[in-house]
Amino acid sequence: MTEEILSSRTDAATRLTPGAPPSRPTALVTGASRGLGLALARALAADGWQLIITARGAPGLEEAARQTGATALAGDVADPEHLARLAQAASELGGLDLLVNNAGGLGAVPLPSLAAYPLDTLTDLLRTNVVAPLALIQATIRGLRERRGAVINISSDAAVEAYEGWGGYGLTKAALDQLSHVLAVEEPDLAVWWVDPGEMRTRMLVDALGEQEAASASDPEAVAPFLVDLIKRRPASGRVTR
């Protein structure tokens, strides 16, 4: 039943409220100025979604807005005032059908061992990668519940594998996974997916591994259709690996 409701909206890219003219479904995508977030925003826009996008750097975000027709709000997802502005924008568009917590940081670079991990950096990373996604969920959950919407939290294989140097980043993604898992149980009317998108050729991977090693990873433009398909199929909540 839940599956049919969102599918009917997304397949036709319309939000169907009885008695009201059809309107486009609405998604908020964080970290949409480049990499996976930009690729997903472009794919959703092509599919007829109305978008709110955010990232800290205004120039990249403005270009993304030009390409997608999105409402763009520049700021840091770890800033409560910025989160309030995003929630207000979502509310003004009638609530969200989809929240994508994609914005994320890598933490200390070069990747240090846990024994040497700078704790201030780790605390900041937890704010960006864990607390901010939860804060956005809390701030938009009313509309998501009303629309029986979906939440995608972008995770990583570093959440479940023990790669040397990836402990700081990986523990934030493990926390995001567990947050998602419990949310899925507590909010049975929502679809909640925590998604490992696989290695992608983005600035984050270049920062971590260098240009040469990152060059063989997937193009995020090739990963975005996997997420759009996930949204359309609306499987049960759970961890998803590309």
Ligand X SMILES: NC(=O)c1ccc[n+]([C@@H]2O[C@H](COP(=O)([O-])OP(=O)(O)OC[C@H]3O[C@@H](n4cnc5c(N)ncnc54)[C@H](OP(=O)(O)O)[C@@H]3O)[C@@H](O)[C@H]2O)c1
Q: Which residues are catalytic?
A: 169
Quote the tokens at residue 194.
């925590």
- Closer residue to ligand X (CB): 18 or 216: 216
Q: Which is nearer to ligand X, 47 or 63 (CB)?
A: 63
Q: Using CA of residue 22, residue 23, residue 29, residue 34, what is the dihedral sign?
A: positive
| Separation of alpha carbons 223 and 158, rounded Å | 18
Kindly state the smallest distance separating residue 46's Cβ from ligand X, in Å.
18
Closest separation between CB of residue 91 and ligand X, Å?
A: 20
Closer by beta carbon to ligand X, 49 or else 166: 166
Cis-peptide into 110, omega within 30 deg: yes
Rule CB under 6 A: which residues touch ligand X?
A: 30-37, 54-57, 60, 76-78, 102-105, 128, 154, 156, 197, 199-200, 202-205, 217, 220
DSSP track, the chain: -HHHHHHHHHHTT-B--TTS--B--EEEEES-SSHHHHHHHHHHHHTT-EEEEEES-HHHHHHHHHHHT-EEEES-TT-HHHHHHHHHHHHHTT--SEEEE------SSS---GGG--HHHHHHHHIIIIIHHHHHHHHHHHHHHHTT-EEEEE--GGGTS--TT-HHHHHHHHHHHHHHHHHHHH-TTSEEEEEE---B-SHHHHHHH-HHHHTTSBPHHHHHHHHHHHHHH-PPSEEEE-
For the bound state, the minimum distance from the C-beta of residue 127 to ligand X, rounded and expressed in Å, comes to 8
Rounded to a whole number of angstroms, the minimum distance from the CB of residue 21 to ligand X is 33
Residue 241 CB, nearest approach to ligand X (Å): 10
The residue among 140 and 202 lying less far from ligand X, judged by its C-beta, is 202
Q: Please, which residue, 26 or 156, has the CB nearer to ligand X?
A: 156
